[in-house]
Amino acid sequence: MATATITQAETQIRGLVDNYIKAVRARDLDGIVRDYAPDTVFFDAIPPLKLSGAAAYRKNWQDCFAMMDGPVGFDVTQLEVHASEDVAYAHMINHLSGTVKPEGKMKDNRMDFWFRATIGFRKIGSAWKVTHEHASVPFNPENNTAATDLKP
Amino acid sequence: MATATITQAETQIRGLVDNYIKAVRARDLDGIVRDYAPDTVFFDAIPPLKLSGAAAYRKNWQDCFAMMDGPVGFDVTQLEVHASEDVAYAHMINHLSGTVKPEGKMKDNRMDFWFRATIGFRKIGSAWKVTHEHASVPFNPENNTAATDLKP
């Protein structure tokens, strides 16, 4: 496949990630799901094991923002993109931070953890869409706690 | 791209997953990493956030098997494959089970949990290789515990 096509695909996917970062920081739910396929399948950092649909994905972010007070911090590091003509995936290490309202269900009323994200894309028509996402923190098997204190 | 090429790619990737399942059940470390790229990047279910290299991946399975007594149960469900000519990804829900030795660092000395896995592939030369893997269980944010009791 032509190198130019791959370079263009990578550039487009990095553009999608950039848009996503800005949308999360702005609590912009429509912006977050702008490039998600309607039937996207996602493994979120929180239960359940699996969910389907851009609407469910949007709702998870809505619930997250609802329990946060003030600014939402969101940073993406170590982004790597693997793209072909019409299938691609990317992985990255992300940081989410902010203050959680007293009634929010979050330990210590503080959101501040690094997590891993893998995103699967397909080119549908002329546009790249997110068809899969997997976000997680590792867990410590000896005591079943989430390792939310790790840093990249 | 020709449909036949995509169908063939999907078949080959499902073959890699089948081989992997059999290798885990057989505690066959060389079989497990047979199709992993030397520089594979993986987000394991346990810390750290990120690791690189098939050798590190092999070692994690070696450590896992070393603390297990008797048979290793491993099942893969809900496998979906998205393939292009030379980039692909797959996601699935897996079950790992077995008895953990008394000295093994695992809560309740029992390994029995469902987890999510996303695998990224690239065709390198004429063979598909795993260039990325992400395995995880979700966590409960209200008390920071790993949700190892979920079922698909």
Q: What is the ipTM of this complex?
A: 0.95
- Above 60 in pLDDT, residue A95? yes
Question: Which secondary structure element, helix H or strand E, spans residue B116, and what is its range?
Answer: strand B110-124
CB–CB contact A150 B49 (8 Å): yes
CA angle A89, B87, A117 (to 5 degrees): 15
- Above 60 in pLDDT, residue A123? yes
Over residues A21-37, mean pLDDT: 98
* Separation of first and last alpha carbons in chain B: 34
What sign does the dihedral A46-A48-A50-A52 (CA atoms) show? negative
Cβ within 8 Å of B, A 55-84: 78, 80, 82-84
Over residues A98-104, mean pLDDT: 85
pLDDT, residue A93, reads 98
Closest-CA distance, B23 to chain A, in angstroms, reads 23
Closest-CA distance, A95 to chain B, in angstroms, reads 12
- Above 80 in pLDDT, residue A106? no
Neighbours of A17 (CB within 10 A): 18
Q: List pLDDT tens digits, range B102-133.
A: 877 776 788 999 999 999 999 999 999 999 99
B101 touches B68 (CB < 8 A): yes
pLDDT, residue A1, reads 56
Mean pLDDT over all residues of chain A? 94
Neighbours of A63 (CB within 10 A): 12
Closest-CA distance, B24 to chain A, in angstroms, reads 19
CA atoms within 13 A on the CB side of A53: 4
- Above 90 in pLDDT, residue A66? yes
Size of interface A-B (CB pairs under 8 A): 169
pTM of the model: 0.96
* Radius of gyration over every alpha carbon of chain B, rounded to an integer in angstroms: 16
pLDDT, residue A103, reads 76
Give the residues of chain B that fall short of pLDDT 50.
Answer: none
pLDDT, residue B102, reads 82
pLDDT, residue B5, reads 77
Name residue, tokens 């902010």.
A98
Cis peptide before B48 (omega within 30 of 0): yes
Tell whether B3 lies on the interface with A, counting CB pairs under 8 A. no
